[in-house]
Amino acid sequence: MATQTFDTSDIDQYLGKPIESSQLREPIAANDVRRWVHAMHYPNRLHYDPDFAAESRFAGLIAPQSFAIACDDGHGAAPACVGRIPESHLLFGGDEWFFNDVKIRPGDRISVLRVPFDYTVKETGFAGPTCFQRGDNIYTNQHGEEIATQRSTTIRYSAAAGGASTDLSNAEDPVWSADDLEALEKRKFTWIEALHDLGHKERWWDDVTVGDVLPERVFGPHSLASFATEWRAFYMSIWGAIKFRKQDLEAMGFTREMAGYENDPDMVLVNPEITDGAYYGPSRGHLNPEWARRIGMPRGYGYGASMGSWITDFLAGWAGEHGRVVHSLANYRGPALTGDVTIQTAEVTDKTVEADGTHLVHVKHRMANQLGTVMASGSAKIALPKKPG
């Protein structure tokens, strides 16, 4: 497909203008938070154990910083997916997060303001001319406090070109022996032990040195079951949990078989099963290898929003309850595939002090599978406490 026939002109009319948002019907519940950290492989007791949380500086359960994305009806992609691109598919391309020091707690009501930002078209080896589109999501609580802003990037491309690029040689899951899995469990638990060791203590900015390497985080192997667990942790996957806006994915250019009725507010009252993205619509490729191959993925694959959450949790877990992620940037290069393991690493690249006295640690982070194939990379700034005196 030639670049000039890849028509993105319809996007222009939406840029810089707020679009309609869907809203959660009820306040956040403690079990919603527990379900989230369970699905995201984040065993930080601050977010699921009431006894541990009661002894923390927060005196009770709080949601992890990654939880904001669970409150949206489209993984944060909605403002990065406006305008018609005929016969197209969509994948996540990355996220940039700006976090304020506002915690989400059970009982909070979260709303989202969405504003399309910009887009560019580039030639890619994956699908020829490809639109990289960005949009902002501003998450706010019932007090009007801004929790975070997410600038999401989507990759919109020709459905025909994406399907034709599928690497069928990678269609089978890797095989893990019993010994491999036993060794993997020990490796995974090392990071969990690091969370326990830090506990309620401070990680002091003073004790961090440029060149320090964060403890690696390993989880997986991923499976259709683990991806389904992730999907069910998002409010949008629960019938009636969100008052959905009306949208027409086919009118936006999604192919008919991938558009369907996902999150349709009218159809959910008639036949909710066909509104469920696990079975029908643009999300079904994640859990159905046949449909995954139609959009260019060799087998079942994970969610971009989950990858972004893994990054936030990895960094926030290292920072501890006295620290927080202030800013993160991640470019997604490839998804988690069934049978693969995810390995996260990070290195401290700088230490700075902001004008307001906030002490920051700068890191570069990386996410790869067991073969070393990079899934995501980027940078982040983490606020840590400074020792008194």
The predicted-structure confidence for 292-302, as pLDDT tens digits, reads as follows 898 888 999 99
The predicted-structure confidence for 45-66, as pLDDT tens digits, reads as follows: 999 999 999 999 999 999 999 9
Higher pLDDT residue, 167 or 153?
Answer: 153
Do 30 and 48 contact (CB within 8 A), yes or no?
no
pLDDT class of 2 with cuts at 50, 70, 90: very low
Q: What is the pLDDT of residue 126?
A: 80
Amino acid at 275: T
Do 98 and 148 contact (CB within 8 A), yes or no?
yes
For 374, other C-beta atoms within 10 Å of its C-beta total 13
Residue 136 to residue 113: CA distance in whole angstroms:
8
Higher pLDDT residue, 344 or 125?
Answer: 344
Q: Does 6 score more than 90 pLDDT?
A: no
The predicted-structure confidence for 104-116, as pLDDT tens digits, reads as follows: 999 999 999 999 9
Q: What is the pLDDT of residue 289?
A: 92
Residue 19 to residue 112: CA distance in whole angstroms:
10
Q: Does 328 score more than 50 pLDDT?
A: yes
- Residues 30-41, mean pLDDT to the nearest whole number: 98
Q: Does 319 score more than 90 pLDDT?
A: yes
DSSP states of 297-329 as a string?
-SS-B--HHHHHHHHHHHHHHHH-TT-EEEEEE
The predicted-structure confidence for 157-212, as pLDDT tens digits, reads as follows: 887 776 676 778 888 999 999 999 999 999 999 999 999 999 999 999 999 999 99
The predicted-structure confidence for 245-257, as pLDDT tens digits, reads as follows: 998 887 877 777 7
pLDDT class of 3 with cuts at 50, 70, 90: very low
Residue 350 φ/ψ region, left for φ over 0, alpha for ψ in the -120 to 50 degree band, beta for the rest: beta
For 237, other C-beta atoms within 10 Å of its C-beta total 20
- For 52-85, b where at least 16 C-beta lie within 10 A, e where not — what string? bbeebeeeebbbbbbbbbbbbbbbbbbbbbbbbb
- Residues 24-52, mean pLDDT to the nearest whole number: 97
